[in-house]
């Protein structure tokens, strides 16, 4: 069986590919933070599980370039944006940094979602 890396062809697919690659980078950064915190015996181990999930969820669309996989990535980021916005509102409005995370999660969810449903060509 031969595997060739599926390079994106259209601008929409490049945007979705970049969102997936950024998801992998964020996941690996969270895993790295958890490893560094484990060496110091700190409470950072809580970042290991979400970091691994993000890295794994992001690498699959990068490797296989299927619209349904990009749709799963979009659903995960949009659910994360909804959860972050709900916790911000429950905390009394939150800070600017929290709303910036909501905006980033929305963008990382809408881009691959728009490509997967055909809005971004």
pTM score of the predicted model: 0.87
For position 34, what pLDDT does the model report?
84
3-state SS assignment for residue 10: coil
Query: How many whole angstroms separate alpha carbon 109 and alpha carbon 112?
Result: 6
- Separation in Å, CA 104 to CA 3, 34, 66, 108: 33, 22, 23, 6
Write out residues in the chain with pLDDT < 50, as ranges.
none
* Helical residues (DSSP H) of 1-121, grouped into ranges: 11-39, 48-64, 67-90, 96-116
């Amino acid at each position: 069986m031969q595997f060739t890396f599926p390079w994106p062809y259209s601008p929409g697919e490049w945007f979705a590919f970049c969102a997936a690659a950024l998801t992998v980078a964020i996941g690996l950064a969270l895993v790295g933070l958890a490893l560094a915190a484990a060496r110091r015996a700190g409470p950072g181990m809580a970042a290991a599980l979400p970091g691994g999930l993000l890295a794994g969820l992001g690498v699959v669309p990068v490797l296989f370039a299927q619209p349904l996989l990009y749709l799963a990535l979009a659903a995960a980021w949009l659910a994360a944006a909804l959860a972050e916005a709900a916790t911000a509102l429950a905390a009394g409005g939150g800070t600017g940094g929290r709303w910036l995370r909501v905006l980033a999660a929305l963008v990382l969810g809408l881009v691959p979602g728009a490509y997967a449903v055909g809005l971004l060509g």
